[in-house]
Amino acid sequence: MTSLYHDRFADVDRSSGRDVVRADLGGYAGRDAPNVELERIVIIDDYSMARGGATTLSLLSVRLFRQQGIPVTYICGDSGANEELHAIGVEVVALGAQDLLNATKFKAVVNGVYNVAALRLLESWILQNDTPNTAYHVHGWSKILSPAVFKALAAVARRCVVHAHDFFTACPNGAFFDYQAQHICHRKPLGLSCISTACDKRSYSHKLWRVARGSRITNLLTDNRDFGTIVLLHEKMASFLVQAGYEKERLVTIRNPVSVLSKSRIEAENNNEFVFIGRLDEEKGIEDAIAAVEKAGARLCVIGDGPLKGRYSQLNPQIRFVGWQSHEEIGQVIQTASALLMPSRYPEPFGLVAIEAARSGLPVIMSSSAFLVEEMVAAGMALSCDTKNIDVFSDVLQQFNDLAPSQRRIMSERAFQYSQPFALTQEQWRDALVREYCKLVDARIAPSTASYIS
């Protein structure tokens, strides 16, 4: 296989009998940075099919790495039945397990804290296949694989990147959010105040189960200084992880990549339907969006799936559910949208869908706790409010619908033209990840706190 790298990445070297991609870090780490042999990237995720933002990004990274000729192994918790991965030459290693929501209660309780089968699978692969120039990247572990993956990775921890797509690496409930009091939580994770607080959205007993799992994370990841880079989605995540005990030097911000949903600007000013894109569960605020839309007498298109779909899908003819859609299909569905709703109840670490929608010309109405909110509102492409307050949320929706078409067009044009700096291109994101892998593979390159935004 011939590598497609020409400037930063040279061609594949088979002199050792193995496929090796030589990565020149000169563009990132200075003129004197050494060339690094990156032999293989191992991607680890609960799922092999996109079920949310984390898996969507893990699969995107695989495609981008394979386009450059980099060998990839994909280790997943589900059946691994993703034909695209096989078609592009990815080695797929599948546990063949169900996620916690679909497993029996006993299995969910036990495997959610520590999945021994996942431990053995990953340990076996490492024992049989690891090389000094292999890098590891954990994207998702909380739905199937469990903290056991970090025990398996201990032997290669220095060459491991952990992607903080959410806060489960630091907070027991994954959100730094008190679901009972409905406000952001600033308690020290796993401290006495944290453990004694019933903040879980289900029950206190479920909180204690998550405390048990969080303790595993502390023992296996937070306290293990050998683990390499913790990738953050936004700079504002850092203070939360430092509070949980992570060293600042281990944290690197690499903002998510954006692939536009529509190449031409969606004429939002001519449309009258809001759109929600995402997982249908409480923390994403779908219930708040539905309640606010109904109170405002507006229309809503819901793109996504999840445990709450059955509760709402038949209640209101003004709300239509279209299920999971491919990226291309979403681009078609949102042509009739006037604005995107992003009403996450917890501090949304990034909100990739907000930038993707904005890059397509959709204004965004978002929670005031989202990390992107200040940038997007200041740029005149978004409105924000306490989306948990249904009266306030519905008033904002009504106010947006009452805007003159010319005003909505201005918001749409600003979103389409000025949202690019808030995220990376796919190429920038790929190169930033490869740089981190190469830093960890080559111990001569000292780790440092960094941030990658355009």
Residues 150 and 291 in one domain: no
Phi first, then psi: give them for residue 428, nearest 5 degrees.
Answer: -65, -40
pLDDT in tens, the chain (454 residues): 222 222 333 333 434 444 444 444 333 333 333 467 889 999 999 999 987 678 989 999 999 999 999 999 999 999 999 999 999 999 999 999 999 888 888 888 999 999 999 999 999 999 999 999 999 999 999 999 999 999 999 999 999 999 999 999 999 988 898 988 878 899 999 999 999 999 998 899 999 999 999 999 988 998 888 888 999 999 999 999 999 999 999 999 999 998 889 999 999 999 999 999 988 888 889 999 999 999 999 999 999 988 877 776 666 788 999 998 888 999 999 999 999 999 998 888 888 899 999 999 999 999 998 999 999 999 999 999 999 999 999 999 999 999 999 999 999 999 999 998 899 999 999 999 999 999 999 864 444 445 555 4
- Residue 216 located in a structural domain: no
Q: What is the Cα–Cα distance from 268 to 273, expressed in whole angstroms? A: 9
Residues 99 and 128 in one domain: yes
Residues 29 and 77 in one domain: yes
- Residue 392 located in a structural domain: yes
Split into its structural domains, the chain has a count of 2
**Three-class SS state of 33:** coil
**Three-class SS state of 365:** strand
- Length of the chain, in residues: 454
- Residue 180 located in a structural domain: no
Strand partners for 160: 136
- Residue 170 located in a structural domain: no
Residues 286 and 298 in one domain: yes
- Residue 90 located in a structural domain: yes
- Residue 159 located in a structural domain: yes
Residues 148 and 236 in one domain: yes
156 to 199, 217, 252, 395, 431: CA distances (angstroms): 35, 17, 19, 53, 22
Per-residue burial over 394-409, b if 16 or more Cβ lie within 10 Å, else e, is: bebbeebbebeeeebb
**Three-class SS state of 247:** coil
Residues 312 and 241 in one domain: no
Token digits of residue 400: 């947006």
Q: What is the Cα–Cα distance from 260 to 334, expressed in whole angstroms? A: 12
Predicted local confidence at residue 314, as pLDDT: 66
Helix H or strand E segment including 311: helix 309-312
Token digits of residue 184: 């952001």
Predicted local confidence at residue 232, as pLDDT: 96
Q: What is the Cα–Cα distance from 395 to 382, expressed in whole angstroms? A: 15
Residue range of the domain that includes 407: 268-422
Token digits of residue 383: 């409105």
CB atoms within 10 A of CB 73: 18
β-bridge pairing 229-232 and 251-254: parallel
| Residue 161, burial from CB neighbour count under 10 angstroms (0-12, 13-18, 19+) | buried
* CATH of residue 32: 3.40.50.2000
Q: What is the Cα–Cα distance from 76 to 121, expressed in whole angstroms? A: 10
- Residue 237 located in a structural domain: yes
Q: From 28, 131, 9, select the one nearest 69 (Cα to Cα).
A: 9
Residues 76 and 88 in one domain: yes
pTM of the model: 0.82
Residues 229 and 246 in one domain: yes
Q: What is the Cα–Cα distance from 144 to 154, expressed in whole angstroms? A: 19
- Residue 172 located in a structural domain: no
Residues 47 and 146 in one domain: yes
Strand partners for 73: 42, 91
Residues 285 and 413 in one domain: yes
Predicted local confidence at residue 101, as pLDDT: 81
Q: Are 245 and 217 in contact (CB under 8 A)?
A: no
- List, for residues 372-410, the tens digit of each pLDDT value: 999 999 999 999 999 999 999 999 999 999 999 999 999
Q: Are 228 and 150 in contact (CB under 8 A)?
A: no
Residues 104 and 134 in one domain: yes
Residues 89 and 231 in one domain: yes
Q: What is the Cα–Cα distance from 209 to 203, expressed in whole angstroms? A: 10
Predicted local confidence at residue 452, as pLDDT: 54
